[in-house]
Amino acid sequence: MDNTIRITGKIREAVKLPMCGKDSQGNLYEVDNLSLMKNGRRFLPVMGEFHFSRYEPEDWEEELLKMKAGGITVTATYVFWIHHEERRGEWDFGGCRDLRGFLETCRRVGMQVWLRIGPWAHGECRNGGFPDWLTEEFGSRLRSNDPGYLKEVRRLYQKIGEQAAGEMAKDGGPIIGIQLENEYGHCGGGPSSQEECMEHMRTLKRMALEAGMEVPYYTSTGWGGGIVVDGETLPVLGGYVDAPWAEHVQEMPASANFLFSSYKQDENIGSDLKRQESRQFTFDISRNPYLTAELGGGLQPTSHRRTYPWPEDIEAQALCMLGGGANLLGYYMYHGGINPEGKETTLQESRATGYNNDLPVKSYDFQTCIRESGEVNESYGRLRRLHLLLQDFGEELAGSETCFPEKLPESPEDLHTLRTTARVNPESRTGFLFINNHQRKRRMEERKDAAVKLVFPESELVIDHLFLKPGSCAVIPFSLPVGEAFLEKTNASLLCRLGSRYFFYGSKEVCENPFYQWRGEAGDVVTLTEEQAARACRLGDALYVTEYQDSCLIEQEGKIYLISSHEQEKVICYRAEGGPKVFTVKAQETDVPVRFTPLEPDAENRAGSEAVGKAAGYCEYEVCIGDVPVDKLHQLYLEADYVGDRAELYLDGRLADDWFTNGETWHAALKRFDYPASLVLRIYSSDSPIPNPYDNQVYYDLPVEKGCALRGVKAVAEYKTEL
């Protein structure tokens, strides 16, 4: 027996918290010490961060639909003060800064919103989102109840309230929650007294309400001693698979985020800005549900740390949080973006503004589920497997008892002990066995025919025939009603259901020998491979499986579209009854020629010249793009294969996009630049990194070749075809 878990079957006393609200349809949102509730029923939402001011407004709808297709039910977004009032008194809510337009788009596509209103945000934004004029005037009085500072915050909140008027849930809008401040009491300034910090958070909430921001839920970040006012704000926690902000250029120790535990305290979050060494929670965990808002959907490279989030990392961390009892999965970021143009300065975090990291001026790709370019990453499909499960069984999980095994790993370096936990609903007795056989940058043991014993007060159940590859994880149901049938146990992971047909998945070995033990008649089940499940998308009353991992499906205006870079693709469609149907989707092949030439020293109207560039540690190329048949394609990506520390794209002498070398091939979306005929690509030598305090060394996870040269460019067409 690889491990044993004792199930007490006790129903934890539920105590409602003084926080609730109704939407315009009369639905009542409440919360107790266990979970969020809607009309008295528990629900477990999935939240993904997407910054509206870091993306083109004409594409908001499609990107939100990609998020919905990925299983996201709530989008979180910052309102960066500096994006809207960079110059004092000059408010800008136009273009990509159009908060009202974004909220209306969310309402139209059926996406709820958790609005993060600051005033300080962080988010790798300049000054953490504070305008320069604010930091210059108030200095150490920022983030306090200083009357002058509060006067400015009141102006900000009033402006946000005006933009969001009519968009609260009570008014029929999408905003279901508000986050006040960010990492307050953990990162950056503010009073040293905890009580003063508590009073400041109470003040911010009063001001938000005065500005019309009345919603069912209010949150504040709870890690690292972050200030949470019991009864006034709900704590949200987080975790990242690495720390690109860490103040060194060595590999991080093995992370405890890949172990199962309750109320995870990730010591690395904000470690570059933390005010003091590890602080305990400022809230009572017995009185608050376990909610997350910053599970890293990826990692944003910094100039000195080019960490890479493998898809296995992202999936395993989320599964460990869920298996540990989390009742809200919130990802930061879920969708990457690009910084808008500043009026006075660039808008990224940098050492020049007193922070400890240099970020790309433009790119906020975050190597996450949906990239800055709009392309879907492998982690998109891996996480969707969990999200489909939560759509159908979130209520069961939200009311469950979390039970940890008798044998716990000694440390994250323990690669032998089976990492597992169980969540069992004490009322229905349905349970889910969570198993993680992955540790970032380590190799766990392969397990063949593993078994876990579940000990109930009056019985035992052995979950066996488990096959676990290194790097894999699983959610195995037990005591599960399947239509009219009853599944006692299995060795396959549960994906979702369509009517009384249930979908499972597993490794090749599991799929070849799936084990289902029924009490009585067998139910209607379909067993997919792990890869098929990662490509599975439920839209309407059907489950679709794309042929390629980098393709995605969306539902828009009642129609289903395939977005893919492949000219031909097969899509399998499953329904609640009958056999699968196969669609073959064809797009008209499009070839856009691209060529590049080194810039000559006397070239005019360029970002620079070869002679100047060599002295500055960079080289430049003109990239010429042929005619783009916009009626035949949906998007065109410029793929640049280069060697160097970083690269920049210039359009008409203006920096349009940039990229910190991380071992991947750079894809830049050209539609956002109106498909230019030519661009200038500047590549900085590996010998000329952005200066840092670590002897100008740079840490990489992926292999990176040093040099300073463009080896090739090509155009990658993307198609959008109705299914």
Q: Are residues 385 and 238 in the same domain?
A: yes
Last residue of a domain, one of 370, 393, 416: 393
Residue 21 lies in a domain: no
Residue 400: pLDDT band (50, 70, 90) is very high
Give CA angle at 629 (626, 634), nearest 5°.
115
23, part of any domain: no
Most confident of 7-16, 148-157, 186-195, 255-264: 148-157
The residue among 605 and 221 whose pLDDT is bigger is 221
Same domain, 634 and 682: yes
pLDDT greater than 60 at residue 678: yes
In angstroms, how far is the first alpha carbon of the chain from the final one?
48
Q: Is residue 622 scored above 90 in pLDDT?
A: yes
**Cα(69)–Cα(61) distance, integer angstroms:** 12
Domain boundary among 586, 613, 640: 586
Share of the chain above pLDDT 90, in %: 92
Q: How many domains does the chain have?
A: 3
Mean pLDDT of the chain: 95
DSSP for 370-389 reads: B-TTSPBPHHHHHHHHHHHH
Query: Which whole number is the average pLDDT over 231-256?
Result: 97
Average pLDDT over residues 500-509: 96
What 3-state class would DSSP assign to 366? coil
Query: Which tokens sit at 308?
Result: 């890479």
Identify whether residues 432 and 559 lie together within a single domain: yes
Q: Is 614 or 625 the better-scoring residue by pLDDT?
A: 625
Structure confidence by residue, pLDDT tens digits, 579-618: 999 999 999 989 999 999 999 754 443 454 444 445 569 9
CA distance 241 to 267: 12
**Same-domain check for residues 91 and 128:** yes
The vertex-327 CA angle with 473 and 492, nearest 5°, equals 30
Confidence of residue 265 (pLDDT cuts 50, 70, 90): confident
Q: Are residues 633 and 563 in the same domain?
A: no
For residue 602, what pLDDT is reported? 46
- Nearest-CA neighbor of 386 among 445, 441, 478, 315? 315
Task: Say if residue 659 is in the same domain as residue 538.
Answer: no
pLDDT at 198 over 50: yes
Q: Please return the burial class of 275, using the count of CB atoms within 10 Å of its CB with bins 0-12, 13-18 and 19+.
A: middle
Q: What is the pLDDT of residue 612?
A: 46
Parent domain of 354: 45-245+252-393
- Residue 167: closest CA among 325, 24, 361: 24
For the chain, state the CA radius of gyration: 25
Collapsing DSSP states into helix, strand and coil, what is residue 312? helix
- Pair (471, 598) in one structural domain: no
pLDDT of residue 188: 72
21-74 tens-digit pLDDT: 999 999 999 999 999 999 999 999 999 999 999 999 999 999 999 999 999 999
| pLDDT of res. 272 | 52
The pLDDT value given to residue 268:
66
Q: Which stretches does DSSP call E strand in 308-446?
A: 329-332, 337-338, 363-364, 401-403, 419-424, 431-437
- Specify the pLDDT at position 603: 45
Report if residue 30 sits inside a domain: no
Highest mean pLDDT (candidates 258-267, 420-429, 602-611): 420-429
Is 474 part of any domain? yes
Question: DSSP characters for 629-674?
Answer: -TTT-SEEEEEEEEESSEEEEEETTEEEEEEE--SSPEEEESGGGT
Return the pLDDT at 78.
98
Q: Are 46 and 387 in contact (CB under 8 A)?
A: yes
State the Cα–Cα distance between residues 200 and 211, nearest whole angstrom: 16
Same domain, 403 and 389: no
Query: Are 69 and 168 contained in the same domain?
Result: yes
We report the CATH number of the domain holding residue 187 as: 3.20.20.80
Where residue 310 falls among pLDDT bands split at 50, 70, 90? very high
pLDDT, position 187: 84
pLDDT at res. 264: 74
* Residue 191 and residue 144 in contact, taking contact as beta carbons nearer than 8 Å: yes
Q: Could you tell me if residue 653 is left (phi over 0), alpha (psi between -120 and 50 degrees) or otherwise beta?
A: left
Query: DSSP secondary-structure letter at 688?
Result: S
Report if residue 283 sits inside a domain.
yes
Task: Render pLDDT for 10-22 as a digit per residue (tens, 0 to 9).
Answer: 888 999 999 999 9
Q: CB under 8 Å, gap of 24 or more: what pairs does 284-287 form? A: 284/230, 286/33, 287/15, 287/17, 287/33, 287/230
**Pick from 103, 135, 86, 120: nearest CA to 341:** 86
Full-model pTM: 0.97
**Structure token digits, residue 555:** 């539902």
Q: What is the DSSP string of 460-529?
A: EEEEEEEEE-TTEEEEEEESEEETTEEEEEESSEEEEEETTEEEEEE-HHHHHS--EEESSS--EEEEEE
Q: Are residues 190 and 331 in the same domain?
A: yes
What local confidence, expressed as pLDDT, does residue 190 receive? 84
Residue at a domain's end among 557, 586, 615: 586
Q: Do 568 and 618 lie in a common domain? A: no
Residues 373 and 499 in one domain: no
Q: What is the pLDDT of residues 338-371, one digit of tens each?
A: 999 999 999 999 999 999 999 999 999 999 999 9
pLDDT above 70 covers what percent of the chain?
96
**What are 265's two structure tokens?**
């305290």
Maximum pairwise Cα distance, the chain? 85
